[in-house]
Structure 1
Amino acid sequence: MTHVFRFFFERRKSDFTFYDFNSGCWDQFQGVVDLSQDEAEELPKIRLDLLLEVGRQDWYRVVELMSFHDLSEDIGRVALRLEFAPRGDLAERFRAAREKARQAKEQQSAEEKGIFAPWPEDLRDYLDRELNSAYEFRCHVLNPDSFDRDGSVCEGDDVTGRLADSSAAAREFVDSLIHVDMVDAQRFLSDDETSKGRDLSRHVRRFLDYSASDDIDHAAHQALKASEQQAESYLVGKFATTFARLNKVVGPGIRNPRLSVRSRQSGDALLAESAWVYYQFTPGEEDAQRQLPERFNGLGYKNFLFMLIEIHEMHRRWAAGVGVRPLIHLVVIEEPEAHMHPQLQQAFLKIAREFVDEDESEVFHTQLVVTTHSPHIIYDTSFDPIRYFRRLSEPYGTPACEVRDLSKLETDDPRFLRRFLKLTNCHLFFADAVILVEGDAERILLPLMIDTDPGRLPQLVSSHISLLEVGGSHALRFKPLVRFLGLPVLVITDLDSVAIPEGGTRRKACSVDTPGAVTSNQTLIQWLPRKKDIEELLKTQKKGKTDEHREGSNTSWVRVAYQTRQNFRWGGKTHQAAGRTFEEAMILENLEWMRIYGKKVGFEPDESISPEQLAQEVFDFVRNPPEGKTNLALTLFDLFEESRWKTPHYIQEGLTWLNSELDREADL
């Protein structure tokens, strides 16, 4: 994204190369040896569509873009398309280059033809060298209503006209609207005085040139002049003997020059070179005896200060501009998290925004655009300003992504999602897949289940999985968000069987085999597999536990995993049972392990009881473990190192499914 901003608004020569075109369109260049003008116009283009809201007082600046149906409004919407497109003479120039290549090839010997092919072999070869002379900047007027369509880009019919006849005029107009400054990801800060990295002091000195004003501080320059005279007197005395000897030397053929030394000090340069940054860590007034040079502070804090200084100077230069000042000032900050610890990352956006606000007036407002891979950076933001770049699963390995505008997320409870994601540091936005789990036990033990056998779940081990503990009744509330983001989702939840006792009105937890039992889990009832009866849930096949999520042009899948009937050995025979919860399934599917470690876990059933009594004892134990379910999970975690227990079958099935989903995406 930052590369597009840099090209269209800074337009440094050769910013775009052939490889900036998506690989999915390379076939339109590859092998092309002849090109007509009509074919040239249909070649791939790189576009940036912009929608601007302009106040009435600035309408005169965008009159070329405006339609007059909304002149009664205080705010008008205008839209334009910036485009990197083929020049009108591309076909002619390409044919001329190909003709020269053909003639050169005819003059080659048979041996030379097998070694070297004259340039250009085809259109791709031509553009690889001549792209920036073969393509040009264009600007078109768009219908602003086209931006209101959900999940679609502006089409050709939305173009209402070309902004200017020449590329230079179009650029001049765009420059009068928008000014973009870049704070790059590679800021080259260093703590090493001998490195090529830029220290903060050098950065501060660089801005003294930008901050110079027309007002001259005569007192400061008078002090510099006195210092210059004292330095000159010192230098004359120091070099007197040396220069006296040199002045006696006669050069061949010329009159002997006399050497002297003077102190030549530039006021601005001297002031700049004398500017060094120090840190004082003690409270109270500034004390030079208690200050440390900047290299004794961490790179993270130095990086933080560096960006604030950059933003301040960028705003000041824009606001102090003369002539036709651009209406909009964007500062694009690329990956500000470099070297910063999580707490500073969390505070960055808030502090940067407050820092900019102090500079702003009623007229000048700098807008920040931040790109990040850090969940901490977006910690304190609402959904509205977030634009989520989601990789699409395109065939043949063609890289593509879709931008999702979270301000358009449709959910009944956005405040809950925002608060929850803030609590969990927003890792969801940077994940390859999501696992929603019921409670503490699954959250503690699931990473252990995944890491136990990397060969069995290679994609899960190597991918970024967001594990969210949401509770059985709250997983459903995440459905709109995970669907909107287009992530594969595994929901691990419990059957939560309940029944209404005779003569009662309130539902009560019961074992899975209780006749007429239903689930109280709203995820199973309203999301997947949309069933309430326990027996129906137990009979549901794998296909009924998955669902397709289609949002925009992206398709993803969700699967639910809950307890199923599994075999267990008791009393020398094989029996079947399903746990009501994760803990029940863990015990029933690990009875052999429990015979050895049951005492440490706190569950030691009598070997003589029936399978039905065993299932009831497991049910009673899990309902109220001696020290709580979290402690039970931690005990299982601790004992795993001594002897491995088995992952419950329903969880293993779910993890295998998610691994195959990630494997399928990796193959595309």
Structure 2
Amino acid sequence: MKIKKIMVNNYRLLKEMNLDLEDDLSLIIGKNNCGKTSLLSILNKFLNNSPNFSFDDFNIEFQDGLRDFVLQNTDLTSRGIYLKLFIEYGEKDDLANVSNLMMDLDPDNNKIILSFGYVLPDDKIDNLKADFNEYISKKPKPEENKKTIFNEFIKKEHGKYFKTFKKTVGYDLQTASINENRYIDLNERKISLDNIINFKIIGATRNVSNNDSNKTLSLLSSKYYEKTEESKKGLDNFKEFKEILCKTDGELEDIYGKLFEDVLTKVRKFGGINEGDSTIKLVSNLQHKELLGGNTTVVYEHNKEHLLPESYNGLGYLNLISMIFEIELILSDFRRENKEDKNPADINILFIEEPEAHTHPQMQSVFIKNIKELLKTESGNSDGTEFNLQTIITSHSSHIVSESDFEDIKYFYKKSQNEVIAKNLKDLKSEYLGAGEDAYYKFLKQFLTLNRAELFFADKAILIEGDTEKILLPAMMKKIDQEFPENMPLLSQNISIVESGAYSHIFEKFIDFIGIKSLIITDLDSAKKEPVLNNKGEQETYDNGNPKYTTGKVKVFEGNITTNASLKFFHGKRENLDYFLGLSCESKRLSKNKTTKNWETDENGNLMVIFQVEESNCNDEKYCARSFEDAFFHLNRKYVCDNIGNFPSLQYKKYVADQTKDVYTLAEKCIDKKPAFAIEILLNSKDTENGKMFGNWKTPKYIREGLIWLKNC
């Protein structure tokens, strides 16, 4: 028996959120403030019977709709906050606990829908409106401040009108839809969910610190003992522990008698106690539970010689050990080890929030690699029987993502300022496989997990071809920030830079999937396509009748096509060079058509694909480059020439000053090692007189256009 799906409506950013859960582990990731903690919060409120809501818990659109409903009598499309859990059971499951929740006797319908809510019922609507009208009538200038007064009123009084409910609702297997009109009210029938769902949390705010008095682990060891004592009291080590305590009690009583002899004599004297009367005596009564909690210290063995207190270790290590202790305690609770008459709940959910707190990358990787196996191994009773356990982990850690199963990942995407949706990475896999791009998906999966998992948490991305752009890009971003100081600097934004080579089109489904604003910097890659002619001057053909062509790279003004795979992909397989040369800056912004699955020109699109354009240099010479290197030479030939002795990686250095050699030749002949050339550009950079960095060379126009767009989008 498993929870297969969670639906949330109108709770904070979770306006309409559908989340599919995996049978074992679901890893929820996403940028800050995208609803991960809200999911934990609403599950805890309803599943642990603590549904205390504030008005701020309502989604903002619902708040506005409720206000308009009361003030202007508009329609109220929804009544409040909802949580639905889709439970599926199998033939081997014991249905004793859920039999009174089942709405359908159809053997093919193996779903139970639990519905929770905090809603405005019909019989409270008139009361709400009447009470508000009375409230506002007592305010000065009510007509001028209706919205403010309503917010003030509803924040204080919403609990009078909104009520919680807990029920199971019908599910139509044919239409795969919920029937709200068929339900069982669990509160009315006094049906408890305690034996059906057991929900436990390890929150992000854990009680760990490294001050000298901290004894977090010692206290947890005491709790662990309490949990396991009853289930393991027959074991030899538990018996031995208690026997030693009893023996110690006897020895301490003799010592206490000597230590307190004087005061006890005085008590007898002042109390007028005669021989044979009742008297007092100090006895030792060591309690194993209290002994572990208050008198035991967890220490660290250092070099097998020294014992160090737990507070001497870093917060990351404390946090990791603390989590392991807490997991053991929760697993013990799931097993119901101290409750002989109770079996584990049908479904046990462990929610771990941000396990990466205080831990370094290697520790994060080790945690996620081991947690799945640990939970699988430990999700059983001492008698060998297993219990159903589902784990939900939220994280901001790219290191945890990189060590996770791709199919376990759920991506929380902020669709708007007021709405978050959940996406399954399994759906992304289906998109690639459905398009026959199995190899692309395999590459993407390996690339993200091994190199660039931080893309999931970035606000923006830049995809570049190679090392030259990678080395120079931060400097070029700095130059843009200096030139346009308004808005947030590029270097202060959460931008991930990815080396995609000439394969940026492989990332297109992923870019669209996570909805990230992206800039692709690529090359025009001009070439000349010519027919292959035989001795008679006739065009040769292949066996299938198709004409033969030869293609070779040339200068842009000599070319007629582009060989760049990404440019052709994002522009509908076009290869005509004149088409690309004629595109305006705005026409390079794209969005994906959800119907055709093609990328189309859109000035408001989230993707911009840039390449070399015609521009004038300091000598007013116009030129369109084929690659970054000749674009740079065109603008900065004098800069390189003036510093030629500081460019040791360049070959044929005399070409740079030789005006008979064009910049295309310089790029082709002089640059042997592109990374070295890029580093030398930075080494020869100088500040301007007014303090602007990298002031003695210019950024090619196409890169400037792309970075300006990315900065402000």
Same fold (TM over 0.5): yes
| Residue 407 of structure 1, CA deviation | 1.2
Q: Distance in 1 between matches of 2:568 and 2:527?
A: 13
| Residue 606 of structure 1, CA deviation | 5.3
Length-normalised TM-score, structure 2: 0.77
**Does residue 452 of structure 1 match 2:479?**
yes
Let me know the Cα RMSD of the aligned residues: 3.6
State the SS of the aligned residue for 2:398.
coil
Matches for 1:507-522 after TM superposition, within 5 Å: 507-516=551-560, 518-522=561-565
Contact between 2:528 and 2:554, CA under 8 Å: does it hold in 1? yes
Q: Which amino acid aligns with 2:493?
A: S
State the SS of the aligned residue for 1:193.
coil
Contact between 1:43 and 1:86, CA under 8 Å: does it hold in 2? no
Contact between 1:47 and 1:83, CA under 8 Å: does it hold in 2? yes
State the SS of the aligned residue for 1:58.
coil
Q: Which residue of 2 aligns with 1:576?
A: 622
Q: Distance in 2 between matches of 1:491 and 1:144?
A: 46
Q: Distance in 2 between matches of 1:266 and 1:349?
A: 37
1:497 aligns with one of 523, 526, 529: 526
Structure 2 vs 1, CA of residues 84 and 198 (structure 1 numbering), >3 Å: closer, same or farther? farther
2:120 aligns with one of 86, 99, 103: 86
| Residue 582 of structure 1, CA deviation | 1.3
Q: Distance in 2 between matches of 1:144 and 1:363?
A: 31
| Residue 31 of structure 1, CA deviation | 7.5
Q: Which residue of 1 aligns with 2:631?
A: 585
| Residue 247 of structure 1, CA deviation | 5.0
Contact between 1:492 and 1:561, CA under 8 Å: does it hold in 2? yes
Q: Which residue of 2 aligns with 1:154?
A: none
Contact between 1:208 and 1:272, CA under 8 Å: does it hold in 2? no
| Residue 250 of structure 1, CA deviation | 7.5
Matches for 1:124-523 after TM superposition, within 5 Å: 125-131=153-159, 134-141=162-169, 143=171, 158-167=178-187, 169=189, 172-173=192-193, 175-194=194-213, 199-213=216-230, 215=233, 217-245=238-266, 247-249=268-270, 260-282=281-303, 289-320=305-336, 322-323=341-342, 325-361=344-380, 363-393=386-416, 398-409=417-428, 410-411=431-432, 412=437, 413-454=440-481, 456=484, 458-459=487-488, 460-472=490-502, 474-499=503-528, 507-516=551-560, 518-523=561-566
State the SS of the aligned residue for 1:392.
strand
Q: Distance in 2 between matches of 1:605 and 1:263?
A: 96
Instruction: State the Cα deviation string for residues 325-379 of structure 1 (Å, max 9, x = none).
Output: 4222111111111001011112221211121122134632422111111111111
Q: Which residue of 1 aligns with 2:587?
A: 544
| Residue 305 of structure 1, CA deviation | 1.8
State the SS of the aligned residue for 1:532.
coil
State the SS of the aligned residue for 1:447.
helix
Q: Distance in 1 between matches of 2:700 and 2:414?
A: 32
More deviation, 361-370/532-541? 361-370
Q: Which amino acid aligns with 1:594?
A: V
| Residue 503 of structure 1, CA deviation | 6.1
Q: Which residue of 1 aligns with 2:646?
A: 600
**Does residue 567 of structure 1 match 2:601?**
no
Identity of aligned residues (%): 24
Unaligned stretches of 5+ residues in structure 1: 149-156, 662-668
Contact between 1:31 and 1:124, CA under 8 Å: does it hold in 2? no
| Residue 383 of structure 1, CA deviation | 3.0
| Residue 559 of structure 1, CA deviation | 0.9
Unaligned stretches of 5+ residues in structure 2: 1-38, 534-548, 596-603, 688-693
1:638 aligns with one of 683, 693, 697: 683
Q: Which residue of 2 aligns with 1:151?
A: none
Structure 2 vs 1, CA of residues 121 and 470 (structure 1 numbering), >3 Å: closer, same or farther? closer
Matches for 1:114-125 after TM superposition, within 5 Å: 122=150, 125=153
Structure 2 vs 1, CA of residues 145 and 584 (structure 1 numbering), >3 Å: closer, same or farther? farther
Structure 2 vs 1, CA of residues 218 and 168 (structure 1 numbering), >3 Å: closer, same or farther? farther
Q: Which amino acid aligns with 1:640?
A: S
Instruction: State the Cα deviation string for residues 387-437 of structure 1 (Å, max 9, x = none).
Output: 1111123xxxx5222212221111123211110101224111101111111
Contact between 1:435 and 1:468, CA under 8 Å: does it hold in 2? yes
Q: Which residue of 2 aligns with 1:666?
A: none
Q: Distance in 2 between matches of 1:425 and 1:606?
A: 38
Q: Which amino acid aligns with 2:574?
A: K
Q: Distance in 1 between matches of 2:657 and 2:469?
A: 28
With a CA cutoff of 8 Å and minimum separation of 6, indicate the structure with the bigger relative contact order.
Answer: 2
Structure 2 vs 1, CA of residues 346 and 145 (structure 1 numbering), >3 Å: closer, same or farther? farther
| Residue 34 of structure 1, CA deviation | 8.4
Aligned length: 609
| Residue 192 of structure 1, CA deviation | 0.9
State the SS of the aligned residue for 1:56.
coil
